[in-house]
């Protein structure tokens, strides 16, 4: 029995030395969606929510905050549904106005179009799809405010970047703005260290292209900033023209992983 105890003790000591060895480390991950350094004050956005693109749901840094105003069906100019756009939405350049149908507790979008922000405070009517409503569907309206892309930049707090780390993130454009996003959007990840800015990766997303109507995953080696403390900025811009584009880009589940083991 004493011999067995010595063997078990030796194994445990050896295992403890292995786990405690400086050369052994399990990969560590920092989830940036929850980073406390991010400013989350824009009332037109929701933070850390699940967004579904083509049936796949992911947590995003920020997304447009849906608003459901009281709606009223009308029969002028065909079968339409209308609502007064809340005046507070006049602070954004664009609003997505969507007619919806709810059946068995599930709501889906029938038709949508971008509406200029100056329509806020006025009533707006839009058509529905009768075949989608059917005999048991409840028609409604959902609005999504679309801020200027230049105002949707997100900057993290200070992050110490270890050697061998990488940043993984998914990018996409919210489906209710696919038809209104007339130009490709460049999604850029930048490291900020004092006055220095280092572009780590730029990815183009064009929702007019069916291949870009899914999550696009990118992996960014962080070797250029290893050993430094930086903030990370996530930004999106159209490839040309004004930044007040009626599009809603998304950054999904960004995370920094220390790959050393």
Computed over every residue of the chain, the mean pLDDT equals: 86
pLDDT at res. 154: 97
Same domain, 173 and 216: yes
Q: Of the residues 117, 145, 173, which one is the last residue of a structural domain?
A: 145
pLDDT digits (tens, 9 = 90+) for 32-54: 999 999 999 999 999 999 999 99
Q: Of the residues 95, 123, 145, which one is the last residue of a structural domain?
A: 145
Same domain, 134 and 71: yes
Location of structure tokens 């400013």: 39
Determine the Cα–Cα distance for residues 15 and 13; give it in Å rounded to an integer.
5
Whether the Cβ atoms of residue 231 and residue 32 lie closer than 8 Å to each other:
no
End-to-end CA distance of the chain: 37
Same domain, 126 and 74: yes
pLDDT band, residue 25 (cuts 50/70/90):
low
- Collapsing DSSP to helix, strand or coil, 133 comes out as helix
Same domain, 34 and 102: no
Residue 47: how many other CB atoms lie within 10 Å:
18
Same domain, 249 and 188: yes
Same domain, 122 and 87: yes
Determine the Cα–Cα distance for residues 10 and 66; give it in Å rounded to an integer.
61
* Distances in whole angstroms, Cα of residue 104 to Cα of each of 101, 107, 108, 138: 10, 8, 11, 10
Quote the domain boundaries for residue 108.
Answer: 65-145
pLDDT digits (tens, 9 = 90+) for 90-123: 999 999 999 998 988 888 888 898 999 999 999 9
pLDDT digits (tens, 9 = 90+) for 158-214: 999 999 999 999 999 998 888 777 789 999 999 999 999 999 999 999 988 888 899
Same domain, 249 and 233: yes
**Burial of residue 11, with CB atoms counted within 10 A of its CB: 0-12 exposed, 13-18 middle, 19 or more buried:** exposed
Least confident of 34-38, 143-147, 208-212, 219-223: 208-212
Same domain, 56 and 169: yes
Same domain, 41 and 140: no
Q: Encode 74-106: b = buried (16+ Cβ within 10 Å), e = exposed.
A: eeeeeebbbbebeeebbebbbbbbbbbbeeeee
Location of structure tokens 């489906």: 175
CA angle, 105 then 111 then 115, to 5°: 120
Q: How many domains is the chain partitioned into structurally?
A: 2
Same domain, 46 and 102: no
Q: pTM for the complete prediction?
A: 0.84
């Amino acid at each position: 029995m004493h011999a067995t105890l010595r063997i078990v003790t030796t194994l445990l000591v050896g295992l403890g030395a292995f786990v405690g060895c400086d050369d052994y480390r399990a990969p560590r991950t920092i989830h940036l969606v929850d980073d406390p350094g991010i400013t989350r004050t824009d009332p037109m956005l929701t933070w850390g929510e699940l967004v579904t693109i083509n049936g796949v749901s992911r947590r995003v840094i920020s997304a447009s905050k849906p608003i459901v105003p009281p709606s009223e069906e009308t029969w002028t100019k065909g079968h339409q549904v209308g609502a007064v756009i809340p005046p507070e939405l006049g602070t954004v350049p664009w609003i997505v106005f969507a007619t919806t149908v709810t059946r068995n507790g599930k709501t889906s979008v029938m038709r949508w179009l971008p509406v200029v922000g100056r329509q806020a405070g006025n009533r707006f009517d839009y058509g529905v799809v009768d075949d989608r409503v059917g005999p048991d569907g409840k028609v409604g309206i959902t609005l999504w405010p679309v801020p200027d892309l230049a105002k949707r930049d997100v900057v993290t707090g200070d992050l110490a970047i270890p050697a061998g780390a990488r940043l993984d993130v998914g990018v996409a454009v919210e489906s209710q703005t696919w038809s209104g996003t007339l130009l490709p959007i460049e999604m850029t990840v930048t490291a900020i260290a004092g006055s220095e800015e280092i572009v780590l990766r730029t990815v183009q997303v064009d929702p007019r292209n069916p291949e870009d109507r899914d999550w696009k995953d990118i992996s960014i080696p962080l070797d250029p900033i290893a050993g430094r403390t930086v903030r990370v900025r996530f930004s999106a811009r159209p490839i040309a023209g004004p930044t007040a584009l009626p599009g809603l880009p998304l950054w999904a589940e960004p995370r920094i992983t220390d790959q050393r083991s």
